[in-house]
Amino acid sequence: MIDLEIPKKLRPIAELASAVAAGYFRPISRKYDRAEHTYPKELDLLQAAFAGLSNTDRLGGAGAAATAGSKDAARAPGEVVNGGNMSTVLGITELAWGDVGLLLTMPGQGLGNAAIAAVANEEQRARFGGKWAAMAITEPEAGSDSAAIRTTARLDGEHWVLNGEKIYVTCGERADLIVVWASIAPDRGRAAIKSFVVERGAPGMQLLRLDKKMGIRASDTAVIAFDDCRIPRANLLGSEEIASATKGFAGVMKTFDNTRPMVAAMAIGVARAALERLRELLAKADLAPRYGGAIHAGAHAEVELVRMEAELEAARLITLKAAWMADNRVPNSLEASMSKAKAARVGNAITLRAVELAGALGYGEDELLEKWARDSKILDIFEGTQQIQMLVVARRLLGKRSSELR
């Protein structure tokens, strides 16, 4: 059964992340928002701080899968575990409170690390462990429908040859590795979609451009082309049988069960930051929310603050549940999508409402409120849009295929 208290063994990671957010992220937040595409060199100092964490406890590398021989795999039936997924969610929440863009560009903490943790075999975990991995899924003509991707992978002896173009690759310029989704047989549909690890400098991989964005400007967002890009056969994520063109897409999609709660945690962190700052500003205007009484008797701003606090707490709890389920090997696809849908929508709504309630002050660059509002929008888009999450939730609840829900 899930315990709503933060486990004692995970408190150090949350406390460390909180200290990093306050001491490193907040002071340079506006600086790198203005200097888009400039790498925040201050983040290099953080690598030593997180170097002692295991691969499954690194903030961007949570994994639900238990590997043979691991402590998690050997635990007694019914034993409750709070592991990599829960620690990741707790840490990310704190870091996003500091700055979402800086969090996304922390060395070694890419979303591709979660894919490796979820799907990779033991040899791949050892070979890619400690490296920074980005994720490349979206294409110019394949956005929300991941199964529609057209990038191909062809086996040529002991190498896979990749061809195609990927857009919106977070940290695509800076990461050591790119986890690329590609089809080994485009005519076979979803089952032929596999994930491949492409190491920086691989022949045939080219960075085409960096996109300018509304938010998360500290994080680079790249367009990458693959032109007969050759990678070792062993860089297909997972076991060799995954190379079958008739099965395996479910394993690739398993990545989202890990990463969607992570994105939800980002939304929770930035929304909490906005609420805390709004509370401070309202207090200066002698507007303090009233708890335990007739809340609607208060001023409109007070009522709104309490309502947003309730929405944020609901999002936080479903996110913790999704992470807890992953750590305890309970299928969590439904809860992962629920957490991402709820938290992303709530996070965006809260940051925008905080700007409105703060008036002219919230709209200016003297306050981070306007930046948080811009940063939060991407959290409702990447790792599956709001509409896609609701489709997944409906499909799971009703037991229907996507085509039957249209």
CA dist., res. 147 & res. 186, Å (int): 10
Average pLDDT rounded to a whole number, residues 28-44? 93
pLDDT tens sequence across 258-296: 889 999 999 999 999 999 999 999 888 877 766 666 666
Q: Which residues lie closer than 8 Å to 127 by C-beta, 6 or more apart? A: none
Average pLDDT rounded to a whole number, residues 331-338? 93
Average pLDDT rounded to a whole number, residues 199-224? 95
Rounded (to 5) percent helix, strand, coil in the chain:
55, 15, 30
Q: Which residues lie closer than 8 Å to 338 by C-beta, 6 or more apart? A: 318, 322, 389, 393
Higher confidence at residue 232 or residue 186? Answer: 232
* C-alpha distances out from residue 306 to 194, 270, 283, Å: 45, 17, 14
Tokens 């309970």: give the residue: 330
Catalytic center residues = 383
DSSP code of residue 25: I
Q: How many CB atoms lie within 10 A of CB 299?
A: 15
CA dist., res. 29 & res. 102, Å (int): 8
Amino acid at 308: M
237-238-240 Cα angle (round to 5): 105
Higher confidence at residue 2 or residue 356? Answer: 356
**Which pLDDT belongs to residue 158?**
95
On whether the CB atoms of residues 385 and 348 are closer than 8 A, the answer is: no
Strands (E), 299-401: none
Domains and CATH numbers, the chain: 8-128 (1.10.540.10), 133-243 (2.40.110.10), 249-405 (1.20.140.10)
Higher confidence at residue 56 or residue 375? Answer: 375
DSSP 191-259: GGEEEEEEETT-TTEEEEEE---SS-TTS-EEEEEEEEEEEEGGGBSS-GGGG-TTS-HHHHHHHHHHH
Amino acid at 255: T
Quickly state the pLDDT bin for 61 (edges 50, 70, 90): very low
* C-alpha distances out from residue 52 to 55, 106, 315, 405, Å: 9, 16, 30, 47
233-180-190 Cα angle (round to 5): 90
**Which pLDDT belongs to residue 60?**
45
Average pLDDT of every residue of the chain:
85
Of 176, 166, 164, give the one whose Cα is nearest residue 134.
176
**How far, in whole angstroms, is CA 135 from its chain's centroid?**
10
Q: Are strands 221-232 and 205-210 parallel, antiparallel or unpaired?
A: antiparallel
- Range in 206-220, 223-237, 391-405 the model is least confident about: 391-405
Out of 278-287, 301-310, 344-353, give the one with best mean pLDDT: 344-353
Higher confidence at residue 360 or residue 144? Answer: 360
Q: Which residues lie closer than 8 Å to 193 by C-beta, 6 or more apart? A: 146, 147, 149, 181, 182, 183, 248, 249, 252
CA dist., res. 246 & res. 190, Å (int): 9
Beta bridge partners of 179: 135, 197
Tokens 């150090």: give the residue: 12
pLDDT tens sequence across 102-121: 999 988 777 888 888 878 89
